[in-house]
Structure 1
Amino acid sequence: MAKAAVVILAGTDGHENLGRLVNGLETAREFAETDGDEIELIFDGAGTQWVPELEDEDSDHHELYRTVREDTSVCDYCSGAFGVEDAVADAGVRVLDDHDGHPSIRSLVDDGYEVITF
Structure 2
Amino acid sequence: MSKTAVVILAGTDSHADVGRLVNGLETAKEFAENGDDVELIFDGAGTQWIPELEDEDSDYHELYQSVRDNAAACDFCTGAFGVDDAVNDAGVVRLDDHDGHPSIRSLVSEGAEVITF
TM-score by length of 1: 0.98
Matched, 1:22 2:27: no
Aligned twin of 1:13: 13
CA distance in 2, matches of 1:16, 1:25: 14
Quote how far apart the aligned CAs of 1:95 are.
0.3
After the TM superposition, which segments of 4 or more aligned residues of structure 1 sit over 2 Å from their partners? none
Structure 1: which amino acid aligns with 2:6? V
Matched, 1:39 2:33: no
CA distance in 2, matches of 1:82, 1:104: 19
The aligned length equals 117
CA RMSD of the aligned region, Å?
A: 0.4
- Please show how residues 34-73 of structure 1 align to structure 2 within 5 Å: 34-35=34-35, 37-73=36-72
SS at match of 2:34: coil
Percent of aligned positions that are identical: 75
CA distance in 1, matches of 2:112, 2:66: 20
Gap regions ≥5 residues in structure 2: none
Structure 1: which amino acid aligns with 2:57? D
SS at match of 1:27: helix
Matched, 1:110 2:109: yes
CA distance in 2, matches of 1:108, 1:21: 21
SS at match of 2:27: helix
Quote how far apart the aligned CAs of 1:84 are.
0.2
Structure 1: which amino acid aligns with 2:11? G
CA distance in 2, matches of 1:98, 1:2: 22
Structure 1: which amino acid aligns with 2:110? D
CA distance in 2, matches of 1:45, 1:82: 8
SS at match of 1:18: helix
Structure 1: which amino acid aligns with 2:38? I
SS at match of 1:17: helix
